[in-house]
Amino acid sequence: MKVIKEKLKENEFIMDIYNKVSQNYYKYLFTDEQLIQKKYMKEMGRKANLENPNTFNEKIQWLKLNWYDPLAIKCADEFEVREYVKKQLAVNI
């Protein structure tokens, strides 16, 4: 079995496919919190304190996990926010 694994590592084509697959699908192997902790550790060099966030970056990570507002989704889309504003103006007139 070890011989097969070593031969596969020598094959650049197979390793290229493996690397592409692992980069695209690794996010499905972790919970959201684990993924955020992993990325935060890579960028900041330390673990994020999500129980009691102190820094701005930690608070942003906490918001990614714990805050949801359906209106924020509409406001992120240029065309949907225009429709939303039109409806709000029509209601208030």
**What's the DSSP call for residue 28?**
G
Q: What is the pTM of this model?
A: 0.57
Q: How far apart are CA 77 and CA 79, in angstroms?
A: 6
The confidence score (pLDDT) of residue 20 equals: 72
pLDDT at residue 80 above 80? yes
pLDDT at residue 12 above 80? no
The confidence score (pLDDT) of residue 73 equals: 87
Q: How far apart are CA 24 and CA 18, in angstroms?
A: 10
Surface-to-core class of residue 33, CB atoms within 10 Å of its CB (0-12 exposed, 13-18 middle, 19+ buried): middle
